[in-house]
Structure formats: structure tokens, C-alpha cells
């Protein structure tokens, strides 16, 4: 059964904490709920959302149906000596799910602890942190096509995961799918991923050897590192990183190095590198700077925050000003990671 509310406030459904009302807010659990909803509201604009941790509402009202999955069931589909295949409802709070996996001794998601969001959206956004991306662990997704009502099961290959990207973000597909289930493949033995320098440093600082580190210790360490640089949405409105780290050619990097020799970058392939957008924005003096009620977070220049009472256009103004200055200084166009809803 789907549930409906009219004129529903979305302030608690976006981590920026921006006020916006949905003409209709609908919750669903299974595919047939979505299919019935499509019949009840033909020809309407739909917006499927998770926790709203990557959304920016630009208008005060969404004239359509906002859809939210409430499916929090899970099923162990397969278990071998080394792995499990876990089918999980798309409506789970992401961190609760990570905690649940560790509790059962299923590993691979510990570096993604404490990311605000839900399981369904993890497969859309391919959320990532500290050397791990959720997509690496997603084996399948079941979702309803909001244009046709057809339920489709996507394999890992069909999901086309890339940096903060998947099939569900491609221009023709974005916001056209209501996710119902995500299947994750997890390990039964814990292997710490220390590829992110800040995490390796923190392990060393705590005097723990990588060999003796437990998954629970790793989770706690990740949460501490995360809290040190990213705002808690319960306290300060934000959507985490506002921009993607741009991927440019090695030639472009060499050109930037002429005027900015210290630019932080990471290899992507033989001829491409990922530039640290946070570093670029920081060097331009934007960290801690505000424009009215929105501004750049004082501890991480890649994060735009709502200091209180900001509307979508306040955040957009900061976004545009940062993009303008970055382009002027480095000749690089920053692409928002956040999805704008008009
Ligand atoms: N830096 C600065 N100043 C800043 C911010 C960063 O100089 O204000 C420098 C840092 O010193 C570091 C480099 O930039 O050398 C990279 O910074 P950081 O390690 O904080 O990572 P990031 O690239 O800014 C990415 C993800 C985060 C994820 C962290 C850790 C993106 C868009 N962001 O941030 O993801 O938590 O790495 O893995 O890829 C998110 O997507 O919402 C998110 C928070």
C-alpha cells in the first residue's frame, strides 16, 4: 500500500534543511505500490528521494509527487564460505545498514560509515569515502520505471558505476526510477582498506597495527575522521561535498602547476588525474566565507552550508560564485555533485 500526504513539508527530507513543500508526498514499500501510484497520478511529475542528502530544492514548492521508499526488509539470498549476497529494502538508513552488516560479520562497507543517506540512493549516487565506493559492493538493483510502471532488475554491469555516477544519473534516466531493493555482495572476512592517507595516518596515530584492527574499530575511526571535517546534518545543513572532484587530462594538470605548483591531485588513469576541488576552493580564500545565510564550511572548502534560514537560491549563489572564481583561477569548470530540483 502506498501512503499519501498533501502539501507536505520537505524540510526534514533534505539535509540542507531548506523549506520546500511537495504537492503530494507518497511512501511505498514494494513495486506494486509504485505501480498503483502511477495509475492514481497519471501524467504527473515524480521525484523519488532518499534522505535528501544530495538534493537542493531551488523552488519553494514541488508541483508533483515526491516518492519515498519505506522498505526496510532484508533477505540473505546466498552465503558461501567467503561471501554473502544480501537483498536490502531501499528505505534503510545507510549508517544503520552499515552497522547491521558489521554486527552480522559481513564486511566491505565499514569505510562508508556515517554517510548521511539511504540504501536506495547509495546505488544511484555511488556514494564513496575513504577509498571505497558503494557501487563496488552493489550486485543488483530492482527498480520501477516511473514512465512505464515496469519493474526491472539491473545487474552490476548494467548499473555502469563510475565516480559519483551510475545508470540512474544518466540524463535520460535521472529521477525516472523508484528503487525498491538493492543487493550487496559482502565479505565474511575483514580486510582493512587503508588506501586513504588520512585513515592510514589515524591508524598509526592510535598505535594500532593494521593486522589487529577490527571492523568495529575501523568504523569508529572512520566516524571520528569524518566528524572532524564534515558537518553533522543534525547541526548544520549541508549536502556533504557540494562539487565533484574534477577529472582532467595530465596536460591540463601540467598547465595548472605552472601557476599553482602545490595543487593536490590523484591518478585516475594513464592520461587523467582527479584534482582536489576542496584544495582549489580553499586556496582562493573561500573556506569559511559566507554570502548571506549560506557559505563555504570553515573546516572543508568542498562543503556549502546553510547557516540557518537559507533558501535554495542562497546556496546556488554561493555555488555560482565559487564556480566562477575556480574557473577564473584554474580554467576548470566545477560540476556540482548535488542534484538541483527546480
Ligand atoms: N583540502 C584543502 N582544503 C579544504 C579541503 C580539502 O586543502 O578545505 C585538501 C586536503 O588537504 C586534501 C585534499 O584537499 O589534500 C582532499 O581533501 P579530502 O581528503 O577532505 O577529500 P575531498 O576530495 O575534499 C572526498 C569526497 C568526500 C569523502 C572524502 C574522503 C568527493 C566530491 N568528496 O572529499 O565525500 O568523504 O573524499 O574520502 O569526492 C561527499 O561526497 O559528500 C563526501 C563528503
Our answer to whether residue 290 is catalytic in this structure is no
What confidence tens digit (pLDDT) does each residue in 260-295 have? 999 999 999 999 999 999 999 999 999 999 999 999
Q: What is the mean pLDDT of the chain?
A: 97
Find the helix packing angle between 197-205 and 215-229, rounded to 10°: 110
Q: Are 153 and 237 in contact (CB under 8 A)?
A: no
Q: Are 161 and 133 in contact (CB under 8 A)?
A: yes
Q: What is the pLDDT of residue 65?
A: 98
What confidence tens digit (pLDDT) does each residue in 76-94 have? 999 999 999 999 999 999 9
| Alpha-carbon torsion angle 58, 61, 66, 72, nearest 10 | 70
* Residue 193 pLDDT greater than 90, yes or no: yes
Looking at the DSSP bridge assignments, the partners of residue 277 are none
Question: DSSP letter string over 287-305?
Answer: TT-EETTEEE-SS-TTEEE
Please report which confidence band the pLDDT of residue 210 belongs to, taking 50, 70 and 90 as the band edges: confident
Q: Which long-range contacts (C-beta less than 8 Å, at least 24 apart) are formed by 200-208?
A: none
List the catalytic residue out of 110, 185, 241, 283: 241
Percent of the chain predicted with pLDDT > 90? 98
* Residue 1 pLDDT greater than 90, yes or no: no
What confidence tens digit (pLDDT) does each residue in 27-83 have? 999 999 999 999 999 999 999 999 999 999 999 999 999 999 999 999 999 999 999
Ligand 1 site, residue 241, Cβ cutoff 6 A:
yes
Distance 169 CA to ligand 1 centre (A): 22
* Residue 12 pLDDT greater than 90, yes or no: yes
Distance 273 CA to ligand 1 centre (A): 15
Looking at the DSSP bridge assignments, the partners of residue 66 are 25, 47
Instruction: Return left, alpha or beta for 240; rule: phi > 0 is left, psi -120 to 50 is alpha, else beta.
Output: left
Query: What separation in angstroms does the CA of 334 have from each of 8, 241, 306, 323?
Result: 33, 12, 20, 6
Our answer to whether residue 147 is catalytic in this structure is no
List the catalytic residue out of 164, 185, 226, 287: 164
Our answer to whether residue 337 is catalytic in this structure is yes
What is the rounded distance in angstroms from the CA atom of residue 226 to the CA atom of residue 140?
28
Report the atom number in ligand 1 closest to the C-alpha of 229: 20
Q: What is the pLDDT of residue 34?
A: 98
What is the rounded distance in angstroms from the CA atom of residue 53 to the CA atom of residue 71?
18
Cell of 247: 577529472
Which one, of 55, 61, 21, 65, lies nearest residue 233 by Cα? 55
Distance 246 CA to ligand 1 centre (A): 12
Q: What residues have CB less than 8 Å from 137, skipping those under 6 apart?
A: 108, 109, 184, 185, 186
Percent of the chain predicted with pLDDT > 70? 100
What confidence tens digit (pLDDT) does each residue in 90-128 have? 999 999 999 999 999 999 999 999 999 999 999 999 999
Distance 278 CA to ligand 1 centre (A): 6
What is the rounded distance in angstroms from the CA atom of residue 47 to the CA atom of residue 274?
31
Please return the burial class of 261, using the count of CB atoms within 10 Å of its CB with bins 0-12, 13-18 and 19+. exposed
Ligand 1 site, residue 301, Cβ cutoff 6 A:
yes
Ligand 1 site, residue 337, Cβ cutoff 6 A:
yes
Report the atom number in ligand 1 closest to the C-alpha of 337: 32
Q: Whose CA is nearest to atom 9 of ligand 1?
A: 279
What confidence tens digit (pLDDT) does each residue in 257-268 have? 999 999 999 999
Q: Are 69 and 180 in contact (CB under 8 A)?
A: yes
Ligand 1 site, residue 299, Cβ cutoff 6 A:
no
Amino acid at each position: 500500500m502506498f501512503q499519501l500526504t498533501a502539501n507536505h513539508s520537505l524540510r526534514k527530507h533534505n539535509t540542507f534543511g531548506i523549506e520546500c513543500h511537495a504537492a503530494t508526498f507518497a511512501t511505498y514499500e514494494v513495486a506494486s505500490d509504485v505501480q498503483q501510484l502511477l495509475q492514481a497520478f497519471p501524467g504527473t511529475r515524480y521525484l523519488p528521494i532518499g534522505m535528501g542528502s544530495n538534493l537542493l530544492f531551488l523552488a519553494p514548492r514541488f508541483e508533483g509527487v515526491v516518492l519515498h521508499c519505506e522498505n526496510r526488509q532484508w533477505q540473505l539470498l546466498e552465503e558461501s564460505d567467503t561471501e554473502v549476497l544480501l537483498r536490502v529494502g531501499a528505505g534503510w538508513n545507510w549508517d544503520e545498514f552499515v552497522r547491521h552488516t558489521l554486527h552480522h560479520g559481513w564486511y566491505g562497507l565499514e569505510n562508508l560509515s556515517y554517510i548521511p543517506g539511504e540504501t536506495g540512493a547509495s546505488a544511484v549516487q555511488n556514494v564513496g569515502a575513504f577509498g571505497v565506493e558503494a557501487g563496488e559492493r552493489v550486485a543488483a538493483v530492482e527498480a520501477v520505471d516511473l514512465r512505464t510502471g515496469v519493474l526491472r532488475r539491473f545487474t552490476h554491469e548494467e548499473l555502469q558505476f563510475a565516480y559519483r555516477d551510475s545508470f540512474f544519473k544518466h540524463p535520460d534516466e535521472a529521477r525516472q526510477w523508484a528503487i525498491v531493493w538493492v543487493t550487496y555482495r559482502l565479505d565474511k572476512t575483514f580486510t582493512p582498506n587503508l588506501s586513504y592517507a588520512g585513515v592510514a595516518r589515524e591508524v598509526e596515530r592510535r598505535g594500532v597495527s593494521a593486522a589487529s584492527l577490527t571492523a568495529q574499530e575501523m568504523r569508529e575511526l572512520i566516524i571520528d575522521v569524518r566528524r572532524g571535517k564534515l558537518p553533522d546534518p543534525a547541526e548544520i545543513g549541508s549536502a556533504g561535498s557540494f562539487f565533484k572532484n574534477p577529472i582532467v587530462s595530465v596536460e591540463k594538470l601540467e598547465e595548472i602547476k605552472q601557476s599553482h605548483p602545490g595543487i593536490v591531485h590523484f591518478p585516475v588513469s594513464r592520461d587523467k588525474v582527479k584534482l582536489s576541488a576542496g584544495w582549489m576552493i580553499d586556496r582562493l580564500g573561500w573556506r569559511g566565507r559566507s554570502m548571506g545565510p549560506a557559505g563555504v564550511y570553515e573546516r572543508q572548502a568542498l562543503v556549502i552550508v546553510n547557516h540557518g534560514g537559507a533558501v535554495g537560491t542562497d546556496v546556488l549563489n554561493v555555488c555560482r560564485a565559487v564556480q566562477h572564481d575556480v574557473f577564473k583561477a584554474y580554467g576548470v569548470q566545477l560540476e556540482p555533485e548535488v542534484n538541483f530540483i527546480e
